[in-house]
A and B are shown apart, each in its own frame.
Chain A
Amino acid sequence: MTNDNPPSRSLLTTLDLRLLWILVIGGALRLYRLSKPDNGLIFDEVYYVQDARVILGLPVHLDHLHPGAQSGFDPNSEHTPLAKLIMAASMHLLGPTAFAWRLPSVILGTLSIWLVYKLVQALGGTKGQAQVAAFVLAFDNLAFVHGRIATLDIYVMTFMLLGTWLHVSRRYELAGIGFGLATLCKLNGLFGVAAIVLFEAGSLLGGKKPAALLRSLEPLFVMVAVYVAFTFCALGALDAAWTSFRSPIDHLIHIVRFGASLTQKAPDGASSTPLQWLLNDGNFEYLSVRVTSSGATKTTVLFRGAMTEYVIFAAPFALAAAAQRAWHGSRHGRLAVCLFIANYLPLCLAWYGASRTSYIYYFLQCLPAIALAIALAAPMVPRVMRIAFVLAVLFSFWMWFPLRR
Chain B
Amino acid sequence: MIARACAWSVALAMVVAHVSTVQIARADAGVDGGAAYLAPPMEDRVTDPARKIGTEARRELGKMLEEVRRTTQVDVVAFVAPVGGDDLEKAGRAAYEGWQVGAGYDSGILLVLSDDGEASAVIVPDKEPALHRDEAVALEATMLKLSRQGQLAIAFRVAAKKIEEIHDARPVALRVLPRGTPDLGKAARYGTGVLFVVMAAGFLARRRRRLEPP
Select from chain B the residue with minimum beta-carbon distance to A222.
B204
Q: Residues of A contacting B98 with CB < 8 Å?
A: none
Q: Say yes or no for A64: interface residue by CB 8 A criterion.
A: no
Tell me, yes or no, whether A234 is within 8 Å of chain B by CB.
yes
B178 within 8 A of A: yes
Q: Which of B178, B186, B204 sits near A236, CB closer than 8 Å?
A: B186
Secondary structure at chain A's binding surface: helix, strand, loop or mixed? helix
Judge whether A237 and B190 touch: CB under 8 Å.
Answer: yes
Residue A279 at the B interface, CB < 8 A? no
* B193 in the interface (beta carbon within 8 A): yes
B191 touches A (CB below 8 Å): yes
| Interface residue? A62 (CB, 8 A) | yes
A173 within 8 A of B: yes
Which of A65-73, A156-164, A305-313, A334-342 lies at the interface with chain B?
A65-73
Q: Which residue of B lies closest to A235 (CB)?
A: B190
Q: Which residues of B contact A229 (CB under 8 A)?
A: 193, 197
* Interface residue? B198 (CB, 8 A): yes
Q: How far is the CB of A198 from chain B (nearest CB, A)?
A: 23
0/1 string, A165-183, CB within 8 A of B gives 1: 0000011111011000000
> In whole angstroms, how far apart are the Cα atoms of A70 and B194 in the complex?
26
Complex Cα gap A99–B182 (Å): 29
Residues in B with CB closer than 8 Å to A248 are 190
Are the CB atoms of B176 and A246 closer together than 8 Å?
no
A330→B17 CA distance, assembly (Å): 100
Q: Using Cβ atoms and an 8 Å threshold, which residues of chain B touch A70?
A: 177-180
Chain-B contact segment, one of A53-61, A349-357, A386-394: A53-61
> For this complex, into which size category does the number of interface residues on chain A fall?
35 or more
Distance (whole angstroms) from the CB of A234 to the closest CB of chain B = 5
> Known: A173-B201, A226-B201. Contact between A72 and B182, CB under 8 A?
yes
Whether the pair B201, A174 counts as a contact (CB closer than 8 A) is: yes
Option from B172, B197, B212 in Cβ contact (under 8 Å) with A233: B197
Interface residues of A in 97-151 (CB under 8 A from B): none
Complexed CA–CA distance, A177 and B193 (Å): 13
Number of interface residues, chain B, beta carbon within 8 A: 31
For residue B204, which residues in chain A have a CB less than 8 angstroms away from its CB?
173, 222
CA distance in complex: A230, B173 (Å)? 41
B205 neighbours in A (Cβ, 8 Å): 171-174
Answer whether residue B208 sits at the interface, using C-beta atoms and an 8 A cutoff.
yes
Is there a chain B Cβ closer than 8 Å to A240's Cβ? yes
A221 sits at the interface (CB 8 A): no
Q: Within the complex, what minimum Cβ distance (angstroms) separates B185 from chain A?
A: 8
Contact among A59, A222, A233, A244 for B180, CB-based, below 8 A: A244
Chain B: CB-nearest residue to A237:
B190
Contact of B194 among A57, A59, A69, A230 (CB under 8 A): A230
A69 to B204, CA, bound (A): 41
Partner of A240, one of B184, B198, B200: B184
Tell me if B176 and A237 are in contact (CB < 8 A). no
Tell me the bound Cα distance from A379 to B196 in angstroms: 45
Q: Which residue of A lies closest to B186 (CB)?
A: A240
Complex contacts, B198 vs chain A, CB 8 Å? 177, 230
A230 touching B177, Cβ below 8 Å = no
Tell me the B160-212 residues at the A interface (CB within 8 Å): 172-180, 182-184, 186-191, 193-194, 196-198, 200-202, 204-205, 208-209, 212
Quick one: closest A residue to B174, CB to CB? A59
- Docked-complex contact A71 and B176, CB < 8 angstroms: yes
- Whether B193 and A233, one on each chain, are in contact in the complex, defined by CB atoms closer than 8 angstroms, is yes
A284 at the interface (CB under 8 A from B): no
In the complex, whether A242 has a CB less than 8 A from a CB of chain B is: yes
- Chain A residues with Cβ below 8 Å from B193 are 229, 232-233, 236-237
Q: A174-B205, A226-B197 given as contacts; is B186 within 8 A of A73 (CB)?
A: no
Q: How far is the CA of A226 from the CA of B208 in the complex (A)?
A: 15
Known: A170-B208, A173-B202, A240-B190. A60 touches B197 (CB 8 A): no
A246 near B180 with CB under 8 A, answer: no
Which positions 44-103 of chain B face chain A at CB distance < 8 Å?
none
Report the separation of the CA atoms of residues A366 and B191 in the bound assembly, to the nearest whole angstrom: 32
A241 within 8 A of partner (CB): yes
7 nearest A-B pairs in the assembled complex, by CB-CB distance = A70-B180, A233-B193, A236-B190, A59-B174, A173-B201, A237-B190, A240-B187
- Using CB atoms and an 8 Å cutoff, list the residues of chain B in contact with chain A: 172-180, 182-184, 186-191, 193-194, 196-198, 200-202, 204-205, 208-209, 212
A171-B208, A229-B193 known; 13 new pairs, CB 8 Å cut-off, are A57-B179, A60-B177, A62-B175, A65-B177, A70-B180, A71-B179, A72-B182, A173-B202, A229-B197, A233-B193, A233-B197, A242-B182, A248-B190
